[in-house]
Amino acid sequence: MRIFLQTLILALFLCFSEESLANAGGWDSLAVFRMDTLSELQITGYRDRVMIPVPETLDMILISSKKTSLIKLDEINANLVQNSARQVFSRTPGVFVFESDGSGAQMGVSVRGLSPNRSWELNVRQNGYDIAADPFGYPEAYYSPSLEAVEQVQLIRGAATLQFGPQFGGLLNYSMKSGDKKKRIAVESLQSIGSYGLLNTYNSVGGQLSSWNYFVSYHHRQADGWRENARYRTGQLFGRIAYQLNTRLEVALEATMLRNELQQPGGLTDSLFAIDPSQSLRARNWLSTPWNTIHLLVDWKYSDRLRLKYSATLLAAERNSVGMVGSMLIQDTVSSVTGSYANRQVDRDYYKNFTSEIRVNYEYSLSGRNHTLVGGVRCFTGTINRNQKGVGTNSSFMDFELLSVATDFPRKLEYGSLNYAAFTENVFHLTSSISVTPGLRFEYIRSSRDGRLGMTSNVPEQIQAEAMTRSFLLAGIGAEWKYADQSKLYFNFSQSYRPVTYSELTPAATMDIINPSLKDASGFSADFGTKGKLGDWLSYDVNLFYLRYRDRVGNVTLQRDDLTLYQYKTNLGDSRHRGVEMYLEAHPFRLKCPESFLCGLGFWASVAITSAEYVDYTFVNTTSDEANFINLSGNQVEYAPRKIVRYGLTWASDNIAATLQESYTSSVFTDANNTVEATDNAQSGQLPAYSVVDFSGQYTLKAHYIFKLAINNLLNDVYATRRSAGYPGPGLLPNEGRTVVFTVGIRF
């Protein structure tokens, strides 16, 4: 299959000839995305789509000079039922995906050699507002919206730090569907069945009634899972209602509710993985993350030049887990002495936060040219109550109750966050073809913690109540040059900042040892690239990037006196991330047979080559016998593949679309030592390169009836993308095997 796919793409590429180029108008006809175009890639779906120019600010997001991707989910072939990030981001160069969660409930993605752990190096938002527990103290995205309810995904690389927050990765925003303004009522219903007992239903209704726009969707998915002990049930409810008071003022209210039950099969040793990657040593581990958000939006177009948005978001959520979480990979079985299972550990987090933001977009004239100013202020306050290491029941079901009413959680911590921020960016049009965009962002962060770390002989181990404040100013600048009609070069530089997270200071369930003197990280990122289009048959986007990550927090593998190994979490000095990201899409048959069904056939390739390495840093591993000096200089950053290559074939007509793609990811290290051989506890060791093939197809009948077929991991390849020291492991976490999903639906 791989040889066939590679050969066919090569044959299509050889179709390009001098005659074809001449027919297309030659290189003089080169047309590149406009500077105000959000999309970095041409997506061909069942409807042929050309590049659509958009303003340099899209819904008050300034995108001029920034490395930006827009993925319209209705126009790609992907397995949206299971939130298949590998397919959704297949045409976005450099996106690395953790593929250990078969439920698709928590997508973990990263860019440019950063950590993909629940996407925490990105500012993850839904409709422009935060959906993580705490963007600074605990930015892990335990909630990911059902992609069947998402209209498009926006990804702005590191340059988004000035507008949305100082995260190194940038912005990942899920833009949800809304009511069809052309219909009083529009209904969509999609029903899916699939491998391993998969049942999925997605239903929505929306429309426009006078000045009211409404939309409600409900999604439910359940399956037994490809691995043993990997059952899950998840349900999401999303609703939005908006009222247009007049032509310039709109008020909207949104609500999201998630409920789930996720069985955690745990990790494996490498030897067990080689025997049967679908097996599991844990049958009683469960995770549940109830998530609730309410969002108020006031959109005021004061004039043709001035627009203001006020938003307020309330989040109330939990992270609950129960199970056997020790580092030893031992089968969880009934004791021969007691005749029953051992008591499980219970951990419960409660998150409450409130965010208020005001954003301004102002267009003005100066020296005979139009310019755009965007700015905003933000206030965030949040509280995390963390209860850990509770003694739970010995049952096998999802049960977060403690052993008895009299027992309590040995570890009880309370974290608090307060954040004030203000930003401004301005697009100055120096000439008709050159623009410069400088910007600033001010951040004030106050982090506090109090409580106890544990109990010794019923005496609490209280920590000293403390609060840490810091304020800093981030700067950035971008530039664009439209050197031809709809053609541009772009450049951007932006500073970044990452506070130490609460989970790094006190991990939930792990045998790691933590440096108590962890400090915040800082750095910057830069982009330089060009994007373009040749006629209607070839589009491309190529850019170089450089990212500097100072005082990066990571893990090194150290050895105790008894020769056992453990993970030590500390600041590992600087890391340097350099690389090139390339995207190419071609439809060569449009040149010679524009009326033929072959004109819908095309191919695409997405390539990212990344060098993410530690800069000179030395630390000492001391045992009772000797002191070993370890230098990380030149070591590869954890979970930073040097190559990510995805390519595929697409064919689309008015009512049929099909995509066959292959994804290749090179090997990664899982600790800063670059340990090659797997350790006995399977928490360290190199993960080899892998390739995986996916197929997706869709047929639409009479514009109302939809039939879809998705086959993930078509060749049933076995690989792993992650090792874990705590949840949901510990150990090696396998990918999913071959999965088939069939969907029927109706839209009217």
DSSP class per residue in 15-33: T--HHHHHHTT-GGGEE--
Which residue stretches of 556-675 are H helix?
none
- What pLDDT sits at residue 6? 55
**383 with 502: CB under 8 angstroms?**
no
Q: How many separate domains does the chain show?
A: 1
For the segment 634-693, what is each residue's pLDDT rounded down to a tens digit? 999 999 999 999 999 998 888 899 999 999 999 999 998 899 999 888 989 999 999 999
pTM for the full predicted model: 0.90
**93 with 68: CB under 8 angstroms?**
no
For the segment 3-44, what is each residue's pLDDT rounded down to a tens digit? 555 555 444 444 443 333 333 333 333 233 333 333 333 333
* Whole-number percent of the chain with pLDDT over 70: 89
Q: Tell me what the mean pLDDT of segment 388-405 comes to.
A: 91
Q: State CA 431 to chain mean position distance.
A: 37
> Residue 627 — pLDDT band, cuts 50, 70, 90?
very low
> Residue 593 — pLDDT band, cuts 50, 70, 90?
low
Name the CA dihedral angle for 623, 628, 632, 635, rounded to a multiple of 10 degrees: -90
Q: Beta strand pairing status for 122-126 and 170-176? A: parallel
- Give the C-alpha separation, 556 to 565, whole Å: 10
Whether omega for the bond prior to residue 730 falls within 30 degrees of 0, making it cis, is: yes
Give 110: exposed, middle or buried? Use CB within 10 Å, 0-12, 13-18, 19+. buried
Give 641: exposed, middle or buried? Use CB within 10 Å, 0-12, 13-18, 19+. buried
Whether omega for the bond prior to residue 93 falls within 30 degrees of 0, making it cis, is: no
Report the CATH number that the domain containing residue 655 is assigned in CATH. Answer: 2.40.170.20
For the segment 183-218, what is each residue's pLDDT rounded down to a tens digit? 999 999 999 999 999 999 999 999 999 999 999 999
Q: State CA 184 to chain mean position distance.
A: 34
- What pLDDT sits at residue 36? 37
> Residue 1 — pLDDT band, cuts 50, 70, 90?
low
By residue range, what is the domain housing residue 43?
2-747
For the segment 354-384, what is each residue's pLDDT rounded down to a tens digit? 999 999 999 999 999 999 999 999 999 999 9
Reduced to 3 states (helix: H, G, I; strand: E, B; else coil), residue 401 is coil
Short-list 564, 604, 577, CA closest to 588:
604
